[in-house]
Amino acid sequence: MAQRVATLDELKGHTLEGVLHEVAESDESLTVVLGEETAVVISPEAHLKALPELEGQIPEGWKDAIYRQDGAIASRLEQLKRTRFTPENKAERVTRSLAALNQVERIHLTPSEWRFVAEDPDIEDQY
């Protein structure tokens, strides 16, 4: 994108609206020098092309099939989660999870050692 530089004196007599329209219609930004160390840059936005219209259709009820509110299970993953994580033992699971998060670290490794262990694909075979 080209850049044009102008001082405030050069822009006197032009309206702000006129300057903005000129920048918007051109493919160049305008840097207005206000002082020795101060300037303002005005840049036009890229013109976006309209999205193409594709052939085909969206089946009716597609959203309802994904976001069911009637309690029906929409996917195999959702079914497995509901089977594994039942409301009956939720409090116990949360308590165990919080205890695991808050326990004192017993393994003391440097960050590079943690990275090595995490990234080594054969670490389980070695121990």
Domains of the chain are 2-42 (3.40.1620)
- DSSP-derived secondary structure for 52-101: PPPSS-PPTTHHHHHS--SS---SHHHHHHHHHS-GGGHHHHHHHHHHHH
Does the pLDDT at position 43 exceed 60?
A: yes
What's the confidence (pLDDT) of residue 65? 67
Q: What is the pLDDT of residue 92?
A: 92
Query: Is the model more confident about 2 or about 9?
Result: 9
For residue 98, what pLDDT band results from cuts at 50, 70 and 90? very high
**pLDDT score of 97:** 93
